[in-house]
Structure 1
């Protein structure tokens, strides 16, 4: 799978009537993951993106795959063997990918406070 492949997965995927959509932040996050790792090892960068994409691909068939999120109305999908979490929400008609966060980083301010509504 290519770098652009994961971006297209984030844009939309149609599997069993559950669409995957993503925020601009998710795009920025995946770009940052790729760019950071690719500086030292482009092949490893692609491998990490492939693992993230593979986990996202499971969501339409199993939207509750991730654990309950730290922030209200979110879920967190831990990506095995890489230090990343896919933060997403279950909307009425689609799964919304909100962010891709490295496990060693502090959570962004927008995710630290409980979100009501």
Structure 2
């Protein structure tokens, strides 16, 4: 009898875990952008399911003295992306709503996602 209760409790706990949202605290979807490599080739970067309410400095554009900023951001997430012209979410900023595309003139070095 105890085994049946134990198995029932374990099954119930497993179902509860499966029912919990897996992306709590994260924007769902992808944020893409273009950047130039050190040899000046045009490349694309991507953040997949990025964390919410957390500043993300783009690795490819993190040093204003060494590399040009990223540009042409596309917010394919379900949250607003605020993009910044400087690392560390500093400097001028611009909000990209979910599904919005920024132009090649929109320079990006960091981003934060929020509702």
Settle same-fold status: TM greater than 0.5: no
TM-score by length of 1: 0.25
TM-score by length of 2: 0.25
Higher helix share: 1
Instruction: Please tell me whether Structure 1 or Structure 2 has the larger radius of gyration of its CA atoms.
Output: 2
